[in-house]
Structure 1
Amino acid sequence: MKKMKYSKLLVCSLLLLSHQGVNAQLLKGVLKAPQKVETLQIAYSLNGDVLSNVYRDITCEADGSFTFDTQLPKPNYDVSIYVNNDIFGVHLETGKTAQVKIEQDKEGKFQISFGGDNQNLSKFYNAYSRAFDIMKYFSIDPKESKTTDEYISLLEKEYADLKKQLKIIKDDKQREYYAKLSDGMYKWTYIRILMDDSENTGKKLKEYPEYNKLIASIDPNDTINIPTNLTIAWLSSQQEPITDYTADQSDYYLESLNIIGKQITNPDIRFVLTNSVAYNFFSFVAQNSDVNKFWTGFKEFAKDYPQLITSYEPQVTALLKTKKGSEIPYIPTLTRPDGTTCSLSDLFGKLIYIDVWATWCGPCCKEIPSLAKLAAHYQGNDKVCIISVSVDQNQKAWLKKLDTDKPAWPQYILSQEEQNKFMQKWAINGIPRFILISKDGKILNADALRPSDEKIIETIDSNL
């Protein structure tokens, strides 16, 4: 049967299967969307933490129906359905059938209703997902941003309303579980709000009495704190935050592993935190750190987790190939807003400062005003080229953002194939990422300073 992308459908019948046969976790539903749907995905976490999240696109058949068939590792699972910028929660259970109906109104907003088995659990988990949607407490657009006190007041209201809905869960054990889950996510969201305030004001997190009280309430060995991210918050609180990301931080992250070894006895949490330490090291500080030193210590600490060692080995190899003075590991084909293409090598001959970003990335978008000032500073300078390279999968969202912001410096996007190669070869697993390339096409810094850093102009000028 001929297939068509979900974005082409106005009305879709959906059939989501996580298992085939008698042990199936089944979700049936209907999506009614008079306007075009750009994103339709189902997401779940293999280990409960963010790093093990799995996202699956839903593709419709020509008649509007589609199936989703995957193997969920547990008999009970809370999953998320992403429809454009909306997120909905659904509870699935082996051998039972959940039903949903998702409808889009004239303004393009979506609503969901539930039927079938476990509909009360789905109703509550959906309310939970909506209450703690992080985008409620953060705005990419500074004009729409609220004050910290306003965000905290909103969180308090959402949490109070959510607790009232616990009564629809009839099973005592299930109600107790979701009460603890909600309490944990309330604490994490509160911490996130304080983290944003700390970043904006320069005030240290440990100077907030509320932060210290929240951290003190965390049991780092309680498994419930994996899906709420409180295990990560606890580990971060055990060390002073990094202030200089240009310095070697291998010892800092090895000390993080040491803390895990001494204080974490829960094997599931040890695995999640060990993975988190490696991910953060390789994502944010590896380019300026002693990779071999950290990697040697990590392999010794994680010897009981060979799958982790195997998963990071390609990244270590890529990192060692992207040190200062190295040849570029992969030269991508860049696509302009008008659809024409060029090679990154076409820009050689000037010092190139690359902004790797996406429209959905809050920290990326916060750098745009500083990037605009930087581009204006070097406008007309024939020795410097500043470009932005988007890794958006939704090209229309990218074009819409460009139309709104009207940036004055060159903009490009990577196709999915180019994006996969570029991110892997350049050892990029987190954005924003800024890259500095010499005029002869050699790497100066594969994890350069951000445009908002006060030393960025000095850094660029020193490499001319």
Structure 2
Amino acid sequence: MKMKKLILLSIILLGTFALKAQVIKGKFNDYHGETIKINIGGCDREALKIGSDGSFVFNPVIRYEGQKFTINMPDETRIPVLVGKGEEVRLEVSKDKDGKTIAKFSGDRTDINTYLFVHANQLSLKGVRGQKFATFKEYSASLDRLNKKLDQLLDKVKGDQDLVDEYRVEKNVDIISAKIGFGRDDEKLALADADYIKFMKSIDLNDSVTFRKDPRKASLGYTGIVARRISWEAKNRATAQDDPAKSLIKNLLILDELVSNQEIKNSVSHYYAVMFYMGGGNAHAREFVETFNKINTDPEHRAFVKSRPLPSKDNNLEAGSVAKDFEMRDRDGNLVKLSDFKGKLVYMDIWATWCGPCVEEIPNMEKLYQYYKNDPRILLVSVSVDSKKNLWEKKLNEDKPQWPQYIVDGTLKDKLYNEYMITGIPRFMMFDSEGKIITINALRPSNSKLIPFIEEQLAKPKEMKGPGGMKMIKLK
């Protein structure tokens, strides 16, 4: 009898929990069976289960307060959704008369979700999406109008005051970032427009209040504004004698000159350090480190730089350097070395099953493989950094990729990460047939410029040693 009561109580409790579970539900009008994914945190994405009529119900797991779940539409429209525990957000997705995706919200947090949708789809680093301007004055005025519209949408939000304050700071930073983006596709505009020059010089590089309130760091937040302002200043000071390999050292020196706030100086110089090492460092690494240590006072940032190997003439990751060898395991556990691939140009994909952007590139890797599968000069290789081999094997069984697949874990992974200064994935690298580095930051398979770049590398003549060490050009 007691057991039956316990079971009945459990069913009641489960039912109560189900009733209180948060839900995102709605309908995609004009749905034609396409896959639509929702970002559920970090790089993780999940395909929505959508009925034939376009309706869907999704119960998200909230990992932290204020977490947004972003629906990614096939036309690249993003639909951020903020939902609290036990809340229900409803939306209807359709097209307007111009064919643009629009989302109409109802239920909980309607006003704040409406704001998030407009912010996500009308504002970009290039300004107001879908519009082009010949002068900064027109461009800036358009952004100011959008900024006013976004402020009005935030003013309508009832409750969620802490989030509203946070979003307003982010929005203000994004508006400045968008204005900095003027002329991104035409550098002459950014260096010649008088109004743009005036705006750039007016940016406060020591705004400690915004720096501390903006929850985003590095390139996405206020730090990114300062870094891009410094880069613009460097372009204005450029001379024919400048060494491109020392550009980040020059940026550090300008940063030290223009920024007095030490917190901001630390954040931006750390961002430069990450960029420097992600690029593989270069022969000026010692000078970079010395300059960095004079500017940055943060112990963790300094430890990061200290832990990086210092490239030298015979040990660096620049184009043309001999690639550092490392080992991988195939599906049978056999060890394979990078040097085993000599004789072919190698395009290598460093990925993991848990990395959303990595997984999104797999169909593009498949297309790249199909393009080159009959070309004996090139080899495509994917190297997983998954810590759980079974998840890697499961993914391979599902996708059945036809190009070589390997995995590194434990000490093998540590060596790969340290030797090639990998701080994030996906990472794509390219090596020539002689085992030398072409680039450790290659274009992604989804980039239309990748194949032309590969063709350019394949067309290069090979060098071979002649008598007495003389270089002979091997013609194709």
Whether TM-score is above 0.5 comes out as yes
SS for the counterpart of 2:61 is strand
Asked if residue 412 in structure 1 is aligned to residue 406 in structure 2, the reply is: no
Distance in 2 (CA, whole Å) between partners of 1:175 and 1:318 is 46
2:217 corresponds to: none
Show the counterpart of 2:180. Answer: 191
Cα distance in 1 between the residues matched to 2:226 and 2:421: 26
**Aligned match of 2:89 in 92, 95, 99?**
99
Given candidates 279, 283, 291, the residue that maps to 2:285 is 291
Q: Which residue is 2:206 aligned to?
A: 221
Is 1:124 aligned with 2:83?
no
Given the alignment of the two structures, is residue 237 of structure 1 paired with residue 237 of structure 2, yes or no? no
What does 1:53-452 align with in structure 2 at a 5 Å threshold? 54-58=42-46, 66-71=59-64, 80-83=70-73, 85-91=76-82, 97=87, 99-101=89-91, 103=93, 111-134=102-125, 149=134, 160-161=145-146, 163-164=148-149, 166-168=151-153, 169-170=155-156, 181-182=170-171, 184-198=173-187, 203=188, 205-222=190-207, 223-224=209-210, 227=221, 229-240=224-235, 247-249=245-247, 251-259=249-257, 263-265=259-261, 267=263, 269-284=264-279, 286-299=280-293, 301-306=295-300, 308-311=301-304, 316=309, 322=317, 325-330=321-326, 345=339, 347-349=341-343, 352=345, 354=347, 393-399=360-366, 410=378, 412=380, 414=382, 416-417=384-385, 425-428=419-422, 435-437=430-432, 439=434, 441-443=435-437, 446=440
Question: For the residues of structure 2 that align with 1:104 and 1:313, how far apart are their CA atoms?
Answer: 53
Q: Which residue of 1 aligns with 2:389?
A: none
Distance 1:180 1:252, change over 3 A: same
What is the rounded CA distance, in whole Å, between the counterparts of 1:156 and 1:405 in structure 2? 48
CA distance in 2, matches of 1:309, 1:71: 30
Q: How much has 1:70 moved relative to structure 2?
A: 2.5
Residue 38 (structure 2) aligns with: 40
Distance across 1 between alignment mates of 2:183 and 2:350: 24
Say whether the 8 Å CA contact 2:36–2:72 is kept in structure 1: no
Gaps of 5+ in 1: 1-20, 44-53, 139-144, 336-341, 359-389
User: How many angstroms does 1:442 deviate by?
Assistant: 4.6
Cα deviation, 1:407-442, whole Å, max 9, x if unaligned, reads 988573636436985676522559997644452x35
Counterpart mapping for 1:452-463 below 5 A: none
Assess, with a 3 A threshold, how the Cα gap between structure 1 residues 165 and 253 changes in structure 2: closer, same or farther. Answer: closer
The equivalent residue for 1:4 is none
Conserved? CA contact 1:29–1:99, under 8 Å: yes
SS at structure 2 position matched to 1:130: helix
C-alpha separation between the residues in 1 aligned to 2:64 and 2:337?
40
Contact 1:321 1:329 (8 Å CA) reproduced: no
Which 10-residue stretch deviates more, 148-157 or 119-128? 148-157
Which protein is bigger by CA-based radius of gyration?
A: 2
Cα 1:171–1:279 shift into 2, 3 Å: same
Q: Give CA-to-partner distance per residue, 1:430-460, whole Å, 9 cap, x none.
A: 9997644452x3547657999779x989986
| Structure 1 residues 153 and 212: alpha-carbon distance in aligned structure 2, compared to 1, 3 A threshold | closer
Aligned pair in 2 of structure 1 residues 275, 334: CA closer, same or farther (>3 Å)? farther
Q: CA RMSD in A?
A: 5.6
Question: What is the Cα deviation at residue 302 of structure 1?
Answer: 3.5
Query: C-alpha displacement at 1:234, in angstroms?
Result: 2.2
* Distance (Å, rounded) in 2 between the aligned partners of 1:395 and 1:238: 39
* Contact 1:99/1:114 (8 A) holds in 2: yes
* Separation of aligned partners in 1, 2:381 and 2:139: 36
Which one-letter code corresponds to 1:239 in the other structure? A
Amino acid at match of 2:324: I
Q: CA deviation at 1:220?
A: 1.9
Query: Per-residue deviation at 1:252?
Result: 1.9
Mapped contact 2:266–2:295 kept (Cα < 8 A): no
Q: Which residue number corresponds to residue 6 of structure 2?
A: none
Aligned mates of 1:38, 1:424 — CA distance in 2: 37
**Contact 1:331-1:345 at 8 Å conserved across structures:** no
- 1:189 and 1:406 map into 2 onto residues whose CA distance is 42
Residue deviations 1:109-165 (CA, integer Å, cap 9, x gap): 865443454421221122111111458879xxxxxx986649997886576356335
Q: Residues of 2 paired with 1:102 and 1:86: CA distance?
A: 14
CA distance in 2 between counterparts of 1:135 and 1:212 reads 17
Taking the aligned partners of 1:215 and 1:90, their CA distance within structure 2 comes to 34
Q: CA deviation at 1:182?
A: 4.2
Shift of 1:192: 2.1
Over the matched positions of the two proteins, sequence identity in percent amounts to: 14
C-alpha contact 1:78 1:90 (8 A) present in aligned 2: yes
Output the CA distance in 1 between the equivalents of 2:146 and 2:189: 31
Hey, what's the Cα distance between the residues in 2 that align with 1:31 and 1:272?
A: 42
TM-score with structure 1 length normalisation?
Answer: 0.57
Q: What TM-score do the two structures reach when normalised by structure 2?
A: 0.56
How far off is 1:187 after superposition? 3.7
Q: Contact 1:215–1:233 (CA<8 Å) still a contact in 2? A: no
Q: Displacement of 1:396 after TM fit? A: 2.7
C-alpha distance in structure 2 between counterparts of 1:344 and 1:235, whole Å: 39
Partner Cα separation in structure 2 for residue 413 and residue 37 of structure 1 = 27
Other-structure match for 1:366: none
Query: 1:29–1:322: structure 2 CA closer, same or farther, 3 Å change rule?
Result: same
Relative to structure 1, the CA distance from residue 245 to residue 415 in structure 2 (aligned partners, 3 Å threshold; closer, same or farther) is farther
Change (3 A) 1:460 1:224: farther
CA distance change for structure 1 residues 423 and 230 in 2, over 3 Å: closer, same or farther? same
* Cα deviation, residue 212, structure 1: 1.0
Change (3 A) 1:77 1:354: closer
Q: Distance in 1 between matches of 2:228 and 2:106?
A: 36
